[in-house]
């Protein structure tokens, strides 16, 4: 299903059944007015069991209104926004939005800036996560603290194309083909830091005990000396 520009506005009237299988949903809106009616509605829009979703330009904001069948797995979710105003509606809202299980996710240009607003369903295991954006488009991610943006579980190799400075901002768990957690270098470093902190604490404790014993001994010797002198 491909809807472009003013045709996007008819999406609420299509009344897609929840069990309907939709291979591809592509929405492109070059003007905000084409999606204003959709965003103004209180209710979400059912798009059934959709496999591939592409939202382009102002249509990216429609992701806030899409309702996918709860048992459905979206194979590809692609969000492309070439201007900041294309995602202004999402950026302006305080509450995050959640997407259900997605295998492959791609953000292009300013669509990447909505990533801090995104929440991934806890049952989701992504195969790949891709960002195709410049420094300006990534600025909202770069100002986030390390490990602040939750991605959930992702297959090993699924972040290979993501720059390290962006990867540091993401909180995720790498899993193998069986869904088992994989110990990464980041985990090892964290564990090493933890071990180092424990070792350092043990050393400090030992030094404090030794210092107390030394002071106690010095005090005993001083008391003995004064007593001898007084006699």
Q: Are residues 160 and 95 in the same domain?
A: yes
Q: Are residues 40 and 151 in the same domain?
A: yes
Q: Are residues 204 and 128 in the same domain?
A: no
Q: Are residues 192 and 216 in the same domain?
A: yes
Do residues 52 and 22 make contact, with C-beta atoms less than 8 angstroms apart?
no
Greatest mean pLDDT among 16-20, 87-91, 144-148: 87-91
What is the structure's pLDDT at 97?
84
Q: Are residues 34 and 58 in the same domain?
A: yes
Query: Which comes out higher in pLDDT, residue 3 or 19?
Result: 3
Q: Are residues 113 and 41 in the same domain?
A: yes
Q: Are residues 100 and 196 in the same domain?
A: no
Q: Could you give the 3-state DSSP secondary structure of residue 211?
A: helix
Classify strands 49-57 and 128-132 as parallel, antiparallel or unpaired. Answer: unpaired
What is the structure's pLDDT at 26?
96
pTM of the model: 0.74
Q: Are residues 228 and 161 in the same domain?
A: no
Q: What domain count does the chain have? A: 2
Q: Are residues 69 and 16 in the same domain?
A: yes
Domain that holds residue 140: 2-182
Locate 36 and state its tokens: 């204003």
The average pLDDT across 125-133 equals 91
Over residues 136-183, the pLDDT tens digits come to: 888 889 888 898 888 889 998 889 889 899 999 999 989 888 878 887
Q: Could you give the 3-state DSSP secondary structure of residue 178?
A: coil
Q: Are residues 132 and 230 in the same domain?
A: no
What is the structure's pLDDT at 30?
96
Q: Are residues 97 and 196 in the same domain?
A: no
Strands (E), the chain: 2-4, 21-29, 45-46, 49-57, 66-67, 74-81, 97-99, 102-109, 118-120, 125-126, 128-132, 149-155, 170-175
The average pLDDT across 2-20 equals 87
Q: pLDDT class for 70, splitting at 50, 70, 90?
A: confident
Q: Are residues 151 and 41 in the same domain?
A: yes
Considering all CA atoms of the chain, what is the largest pairwise distance in Å, rounded to the nearest integer?
108
The residue from 182, 205, 223 where one domain ends is: 182
């Amino acid at each position: 299903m491909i809807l472009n520009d003013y045709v996007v506005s008819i999406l609420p009237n299509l009344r897609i059944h929840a069990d309907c299988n939709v291979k591809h949903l592509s929405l492109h809106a070059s003007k905000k007015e084409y999606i204003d009616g959709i965003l103004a509605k209180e209710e979400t829009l059912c798009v059934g069991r959709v496999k591939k979703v592409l939202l382009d330009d102002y249509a990216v904001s429609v992701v806030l209104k899409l309702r996918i069948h709860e048992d459905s797995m979206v194979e590809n979710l692609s969000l492309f926004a070439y201007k900041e105003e294309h995602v202004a509606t999402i950026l302006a809202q305080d509450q995050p939005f959640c997407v259900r299980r997605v295998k492959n996710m791609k953000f292009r240009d300013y669509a990447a800036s909505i990533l801090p607003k995104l929440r991934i369903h806890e049952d989701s295991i992504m195969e790949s996560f891709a960002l195709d954006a410049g420094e300006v488009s990534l600025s909202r991610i770069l100002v986030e603290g390390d490990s602040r943006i939750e991605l959930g579980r992702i297959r090993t190799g699924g972040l290979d194309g993501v720059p390290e400075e962006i990867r540091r901002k993401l909180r995720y768990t790498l899993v193998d083909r069986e869904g088992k957690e994989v110990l990464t270098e980041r985990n090892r470093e964290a564990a090493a830091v933890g071990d180092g902190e424990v070792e350092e604490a043990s050393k400090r404790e030992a030094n404090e005990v030794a210092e107390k014993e030394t002071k106690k001994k010095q005090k005993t010797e001083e008391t003995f000396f004064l007593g001898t002198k007084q006699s």
